Amino acid sequence: MTDDDGAGRRVRLGVLGCADIAWRRTLPAAVADPQLDLVAVASRDAEKAKRFADRFGCAAVDGYAALLQRDDIDAVYIPLPAGLHARWIEAALRAGKHVLAEKPLTTDAATTTRLVDLARSHGLLLMENFMFTYHAQHAEVRRLVAEGAIGELRAFSAAFTIPELPDEDIRHQPSLGGGALLDVAGYPVRAAELFLGDGLEVVGSVLRRCTRRGVDMGGAALLRTPAGVTAQLTFGMANAYRSSYELWGSTGRIAVDRAFTPPPEHRPVIRIERQEGTQDITLAADNQFANVVRAFARGVLDGGALPAGTGHGTDAVLRHARLVDDIRRLAS
């Protein structure tokens, strides 16, 4: 960690990979955060690394291993394809670096468990970047449900679907962790966890597979809580766009659109429908990317752990990985 002219400690950050999400969203948020100092970006393509370095005012590094060998980096952000996460998360942890990795953390629960245990044994923060969970709109929905705005919760539904991607997109490549289950399904699954809590069980699932590409292109899952609240989840990457969830209660319904990928300037609308009428609550805009990098930096500075009870810690990561495994297994 470094001090910035007496203003306080700063986390020295390196980046493994030049993904589009890093260029558009995560790194602009990182360089704006006073707790972070972006030191270097690594790529296997020197020109890509230079382009990122020029824009964000940091060093360009040739290759991921070379960045991990630097002693002026405390933590790394990994926006690589999912199939490469496990290798480079492990390498980063063994190099003594805290890790923020794009979702999914890995492609299976056993590997996720092994890496979580490795991070714990080294006293390092390992954080999975489900950025939408850091948006303020979801905390407001949770507050409304807890205060009885729709009565007793009975059911939850969520959908995240996107139009078909070009053939060469990495999400069509099995070796890189492609497929809808590992990409877009994570959002409705994580939303169900966020609102329904621990103890979710997968009771049925379907995956629509593409034999030409060797990956699943979409599907659905039915989950339930021990109390019998159900969650119906839909996901796909060859569909019309949809990003939403709904909660049904005994006296009303809450609906949220643009739930998972709202731009920073978007003002969310929470719709509450009851027998007596409909109420729209418009919230202030919020930047979930700024929120997640702030939480990561704070976790590193606080000794390698996120605050208890946030729903973003390693226990939540493990529960999520097991649910995704169960969806895959029951669809086989």
Long-range contacts for 202-211 (Cβ within 8 Å, ≥24 apart)?
202/323, 202/326, 202/327, 202/330, 203/330, 204/330, 205/326, 205/327, 205/328, 205/330, 205/331, 206/331, 207/180, 207/181, 207/327, 207/328, 207/331, 208/180, 208/236, 210/172
Q: What is the pLDDT of residues 43-59, one digit of tens each?
A: 999 999 999 999 999 99
Instruction: Write out the catalytic residue numbers.
Output: 103
Calpha distance 316→139 (Å, rounded): 17
Q: Is the pLDDT of residue 4 over 70?
A: no
Q: What is the pLDDT of residues 278-298, one digit of tens each?
A: 999 999 999 999 999 999 999
Calpha distance 221→205 (Å, rounded): 4
> What is the structure's pLDDT at 6?
43
% of the chain residues with pLDDT over 90: 92
All structural domains of the chain, each given as residue ranges with its CATH number in brackets, are 2-130+292-310 (3.40.50.720), 136-285 (3.30.360.10)
Alpha helices in the chain (DSSP H): 20-21, 27-32, 46-56, 64-68, 82-94, 109-122, 136-146, 186-196, 288-301, 314-331
Bin 5: left if φ > 0, else alpha if -120 < ψ < 50, else beta: left
> What is the structure's pLDDT at 310?
58
How would residue 311 be classed by pLDDT, with cut points 50, 70 and 90?
Answer: low
Q: What is the pLDDT of residues 55-107, one digit of tens each?
A: 999 999 999 999 999 999 999 999 999 999 999 999 999 999 999 999 999 99
Which residues neighbour 95 within 8 Å (Cβ) at sequence distance 6 or greater?
68, 69
Q: Is the pLDDT of residue 217 over 80?
A: yes
Three-state secondary-structure class, residue 211? coil
Q: Is the pLDDT of residue 312 over 60?
A: yes
Which residues neighbour 80 within 8 Å (Cβ) at sequence distance 6 or greater?
16, 17, 19, 88, 102
Q: Is the pTM of this model over 0.85?
A: yes
